[in-house]
Amino acid sequence: MTNKKYNFMFDRKNLLILFFFFLIINYLFFNYRILTRENGYILGDWLVNYNGGFVRRGLLGHFFFNLSKFLNISIINIIYFFSSFIYISTLFLFYKIIKNKLSNNIILIFIFLPSTFLFNFFDPLTVGRKEILVFFLFLIYFIHLDKNFFIIKIIIYFLSIIFLLTHEIIFFCLPYLFLLKYLHLKKENKNQFNYNNYYLEIFILLSGILLIFVILKFSNSHNNILLCSSLAEVSIGKNVCYGTINDLKEPSFFVPLWDYFLDRNYLFNYTLYISLTLFPLFYIYLNLNNKKFSKQIILLSLFCFLFSLMFILRVNDWGRYLNITFLMQFLVLLKFLDLGLIQKKTSINVNKYFLIFLLFFYLTSWHMPHCCNPNLGSGYYDFYNRIKSRIYDNSNNSTKYKDLPREYLRKLFKID
């Protein structure tokens, strides 16, 4: 009986469910906290709309704005429930994909990396961001790759357009559609180079190119003042404009930020985060008998990564978009594993306990900040310092909100 309980508790599927449940609680808590405090970069991004004219990222914001007015419901509540629903749905869809692949230790390790699913835990200011729409869209696409229903393709197409007009990062992830389809066709023993097999992906890409052109051409005529003024109609203060909405007046692309990157050690720090994150994936690719195909997939994955860098290099919050890029690379690996290629048997003559120590160090000693930090993220130690600072900080900025978790922690540790 004891063994059965032990096996149930440490069953990998059950551990993953508990892990995702923890992530959901973390997301729901910080999402509510950030939105109700009217964060200009998170809530502000969702509030971008067309009241000041056509502008990038405005479609869903315009829909939420009008829905709030029509139903007389708080727009903050609408955004909270929508973004939370997308996040929970994303974890549910991902679980459906991964639940039968958990026997692969490297896959399990990748899930627990601080730069993948724990990214929101280590950096709460990444919670509630629009880029979750990217992973949600690609998971729907991934799950329905083997279903040739026309209605599904129509839904995926329109979701891609809606999400692209809500955040342009979607466009810079489109090459992953082609790579996922390529691997799926190989699994099905179909012609990977027949254009007829890619009509949905081509149509999405062409539509995306057209929309990016429209965004570049017409967004500059947008009036930020009108947009900000309109927010009073849904009971939002103008202070929220000092964030994403204010940044809309900047050029959409090619903003020179190299001095900023160099000053904050971005090139070294994020190169290290990329290496630490993608190492497990490329370890699998490099340990296959079919070297030619392995190199092909590595090159195609690298192309997709470099294409997304075209967007990442013009923003300062590299961590947010690298996190999405890592998850895209993970989906590619999962589809690659579906091919059932035989891996080389590699023997590593390392003491078991030393290997456990290395793994523990690898998963806990670092994390990837979403932006701005010139120092390397120090993992759970940084989390400890954040909590400690939050408890002891009595500045006006720290105490201007009624923060019940902070009050409870101060009472627990008997801090006056």
397 occurs within a structural domain: no
pLDDT tens column, 9-44? 568 999 999 999 999 999 999 999 999 999 999 999
Residue 77 clears pLDDT 90, i.e. is over it: yes
Q: Which domain holds residue 239?
A: 2-378
Burial class (CB within 10 angstroms; exposed 0-12, middle 13-18, buried 19+) of 304 = buried
Predicted confidence (pLDDT) per residue in 263-285, tens digit = 999 999 999 999 999 999 988 88
pLDDT of residue 349 exceeding 60, the answer is no
Is residue 194 scored above 50 in pLDDT?
A: yes
The answer to whether position 401 is within a domain reads no
Which tens digits make up the pLDDT trace of 90-122?
999 999 999 999 988 889 999 999 999 999 999
Q: What distance in Å separates the CA atoms of residue 320 and residue 120, rounded to the nearest whole number? A: 9
Asked if residue 389 is part of any domain, the answer here is: no
Closest C-alpha among 179, 110, 108, 171 to residue 137:
171
Q: Is the pLDDT of residue 251 over 60?
A: no
Q: Are 160 and 208 in contact (CB under 8 A)?
A: yes
Q: What pLDDT score does 82 carry?
A: 98
Whether 387 is in a domain gets the answer no
The answer as to whether 399 is a domain residue is no
- Digit-coded pLDDT (tens) for 142-185: 999 988 889 999 999 999 999 999 999 999 999 999 999 999 99
Mean pLDDT (the chain, rounded): 90
Interatomic CA distance for residues 113 and 122, integer angstroms: 11
Q: What is the DSSP string of 242-297?
A: TTHHHHTTS-SS----HHHHHHTTHHHHHHHHHHHHHHHHHHHHHTBS-HHHHHHH
Residue 312 domain flag: yes
Within a domain: 400:
no
What residue type is 106 in one-letter code? Answer: I
Asked whether residue 168 is domain-assigned, the answer is yes
Helices (H) and strands (E) in the chain, counts: 21, 0
Place of tokens 């229903």: 149
With contact defined as beta carbons under 8 Å apart, do 156 and 205 qualify? no
Whole-angstrom distance, CA of residue 197 vs CA of residue 49: 36
Close Cβ partners of 107 (under 8 Å, ≥ 6 residues apart):
98, 101, 333, 334, 337
- At residue 243, does pLDDT exceed 60? yes
Residue 85 in tokens: 């629903």
Vertex 288 angle, CA 284 and 293, to 5°: 100
Distance, CA of 209 to CA of 214 (rounded, Å):
9
Mean predicted confidence (pLDDT) in 61-69: 97
Taking only the tens place, the pLDDT of each residue in 374-402 is 999 999 999 998 888 878 877 766 666 77
| Overall domain count for the chain | 1
Q: pLDDT class for 252, splitting at 50, 70, 90? A: very low
* Contact present, 367 and 110 (Cβ < 8 Å): no
**Least confidently predicted of 160-164, 194-198, 254-258, 389-393:** 254-258
